[in-house]
Structure 1
Amino acid sequence: MPERTVTGAAPALRELGYWLHRYRRIWRGTVVISVANPLLFLTALGAGLGKLINTRTAAALHGTPYLHFVLPGLLAAAAMQTTYVEAAGPVLQSVRTRGNYRAAATTPLDPTDILYGHLLFILLRVTMTGAMFALVGAAFGTVGATRALLLAPCTTLIGLAFATPVAAWAVTVSRPASLTMMMRFAILPLYMFSGTFFPTTGLPGPLRDLAEATPLWHGVELCRSLALGTATAAATAVHVGYLAAMAAVGLWAARRSYRRVLHA
């Protein structure tokens, strides 16, 4: 036990090494996707839908070009989606079909080491996706270079806020169909109605209140206010505090569920 205390970070890093070793085979494809997705979105929205919105509904955006408005929302939504893809299916497979969690649990690695190592990998992936998105946005001129630098850590926080509760849930799931249902009935509605593509002020009262209570809305507002230069200290503290609290509660739940499942 004393030796474990001295080198407490090493076990989680060994688990991270496993995920990085697997990632070596596919990293080129994910980098291409991380660049191609924002390019396609920004080209379509800027050259197509954006022009129509700018001429007809500019007042709803307070004069902000639609491309400048939608980029931070897309970045936050991409962070959520990337996190779900990396945290849901791989966690289920690691417990069930692939069994690498079970194999790791037979070594001196503690379930929390396995959790922390996988979370570190997920955060690396979502940070990379956010950085690519921000770089493409800066290249398009939709966000300044200095503000683009602020968006990468925002995506990391959004990723952590989603990764911990998703991992806490996914480690207990036994059927892949449950992941599909979660994507269909939770992730996609969040993507569509949390302010990613249009202001939530256009929603009816109860739906607006519901949308503005979601973690993605806080992530979108945090990214958008920083990208557009409209951030205030109070609002930023609220958004960061909400996402940090969600990450902390999710981590607490994940530690419990990982111990229960992997010690079973």
Structure 2
Amino acid sequence: MLPHTDERAGSAPRWTAAFEMWWAQYLRVWKGNLVSRFALPVMFLVSIGIVLGGVVDDRAGGVDGVPYLQFVVPGILAAQAMFVAMGESTYSVTGAIRWNMQYHAMLATPLTVTDVLLGHLAYVAVSVSMAAVVFVGVGAVFGAWASWWVLAAIPLVVLTGMAFSVPCFAFGAQVRDNTELGYSLLFRFVMTPLFLFSGTFFPVEQLPALLRPVAWATPLWHGVAASRDLALGSPDWGMLALHTAYLLVFVGLSGVWALRAFRKRLVV
């Protein structure tokens, strides 16, 4: 871990020390992680984009006037950001609090709770970014992108991932007993329904009228809509600004919750 630095002297901010710890830990397993990052988009692209997409194109002529591959893959790009972010923001948080106690070790140094939280969140953002870049590269090989504007979708899908990561940090800091049950409920009743019903596989307009506002209120729908808009090469800048603002506000409010939860759990 980096030694304590004086931020007033222009040195690196203290939270980078916390980030470096998580990055050093990642470097021990980066090869296996990189393989899985390539394997997941390939499986999605082949099974859903090509196999299922071929059926949809034959029977319905695509979706919204575009081949199903080009419709569904931008949504999966945003959904993968959710998967990666939640995977990196659940058991690792609980482990750092209860099992391995990395947070406690960090707080024995000049680092503050804010530094610990920001450093770990920065690592998650980097992890989501790498997954998004790999997905875009694999998608390009399969011809999934209608426009190079998809490159502009990468920061938006990373922001989408953080809209799930930050609340998971807050939730993980509050889980004391039945950790397995708490996370099982989170994955089964939050992540899975959002993946299925936030516009990833079909337009939200096909949902029952009562459920559409629920989908529109979720961070994943905003990420899916923004990613698809850019990937198809016809961005609506007003809507993109709205999606971005929503995600930024969501992350900001969740950050307040996460910081309070961390202080309550880690500061005796």
Q: d(CA) in 2 for partners of 1:156 and 1:96?
A: 28
* CA RMSD after TM alignment: 1.8
Q: d(CA) in 2 for partners of 1:169 and 1:28?
A: 30
Given the two structures, how large is their TM-score scaled by the length of structure 1?
0.94
Residue in 2 that maps onto 1:255:
259
Tell me, yes or no, if structure 1 residue 246 matches structure 2 residue 250.
yes
Residue in 2 that maps onto 1:165:
167
1:86-128 CA-to-partner distances (Å, cap 9, x unmatched) read 0111001110111111111122110000001001100000000
Q: d(CA) in 2 for partners of 1:227 and 1:4?
A: 40
1:138·1:148 contact (CA, 8 Å) conserved in 2? no
Q: d(CA) in 2 for partners of 1:248 and 1:7?
A: 26
Q: d(CA) in 2 for partners of 1:10 and 1:98?
A: 24
Tell me, yes or no, if structure 1 residue 198 matches structure 2 residue 199.
no
State the AA in 2 paired with 1:34. Answer: R
Deviation, 1:235, is 0.6
Tell me, yes or no, if structure 1 residue 18 matches structure 2 residue 33.
no
State the AA in 1 paired with 2:150. Answer: A
Residue in 2 that maps onto 1:79:
81
Q: d(CA) in 1 for partners of 2:200 and 2:58?
A: 20
Residue in 1 that maps onto 2:145:
143
Q: 1:179 to 1:46 in 2, by over 3 A?
A: closer
Tell me, yes or no, if structure 1 residue 185 matches structure 2 residue 196.
no
Residue in 2 that maps onto 1:220:
224
Q: Partner of 1:146: helix, strand, or coil?
A: coil
More helix by share: 1
Q: d(CA) in 1 for partners of 2:50 and 2:75?
A: 18
Q: How does 1:56-71 map to 2 (within 5 A)?
A: 56-58=59-61, 61-71=63-73
2:49·2:73 contact (CA, 8 Å) conserved in 1? no
Q: Partner of 2:14: helix, strand, or coil?
A: helix
State the percentage of identical aligned residues: 37
Q: d(CA) in 1 for partners of 2:104 and 2:91?
A: 16
Residue in 2 that maps onto 1:155:
157
Q: d(CA) in 2 for partners of 1:191 and 1:173?
A: 24
Residue in 1 that maps onto 2:42:
39
State the AA in 2 paired with 1:152. Answer: I
Q: d(CA) in 2 for partners of 1:38 and 1:48?
A: 14
1:138·1:144 contact (CA, 8 Å) conserved in 2? no
2:75·2:227 contact (CA, 8 Å) conserved in 1? yes
Q: 1:72 to 1:58 in 2, by over 3 A?
A: same
Q: Partner of 1:196: helix, strand, or coil?
A: coil
State the AA in 2 paired with 1:58. Answer: G
Given the two structures, how large is their TM-score scaled by the length of structure 2?
0.93
Structure 2 spans left out of the alignment, 5+ residues: none
Q: Partner of 1:10: helix, strand, or coil?
A: coil
Q: 1:36 to 1:96 in 2, by over 3 A?
A: same
Q: d(CA) in 1 for partners of 2:6 and 2:129?
A: 32
Deviation, 1:3, is 3.8
How many residues align structurally? 263
Deviation, 1:249, is 0.6
1:161·1:246 contact (CA, 8 Å) conserved in 2? yes
Q: d(CA) in 2 for partners of 1:135 and 1:144?
A: 13
Q: d(CA) in 2 for partners of 1:191 and 1:25?
A: 30
Q: d(CA) in 1 for partners of 2:60 and 2:148?
A: 29
